[in-house]
Amino acid sequence: MENTSRKSARRRGILFPTVLIVLGMIFLLERQGLLDRHVIWQWIPLLPVCVGALMLLDRIRGKDDRT
């Protein structure tokens, strides 16, 4: 049980820095003129969908590991 909580804490610890890196890359590409701001706003609703799908897969895998 303790091992499972460590894994989930580690995953939560990785999520925030990853989001910061991705946002930084998006802003840098936009600033350099390599990415159009309108393209970002068009595809940004896909971000929570992907995060939710990853969380769902993570829970499914976690349940399979315990059985």
Give the pair of three-digit tokens for residue 56: 């769902």
Predicted confidence at residue 37, as pLDDT, reads: 84
pLDDT at 11 > cutoff 90: no
Mean pLDDT, range 46-52, rounded to an integer: 86
pLDDT at 66 > cutoff 60: no
What DSSP string runs through 3-43?
HHHHHHHHHHHHHHHHHHHHHHHHHHHHHTTSS-HHHHHHH
By the 8 A CB rule, do 50 and 56 touch? no
Mean pLDDT, range 14-43, rounded to an integer: 87
Look up residue 44 and give its DSSP letter. Answer: T
Give me the chain's average pLDDT, please. Answer: 79
Predicted confidence at residue 55, as pLDDT, reads: 84
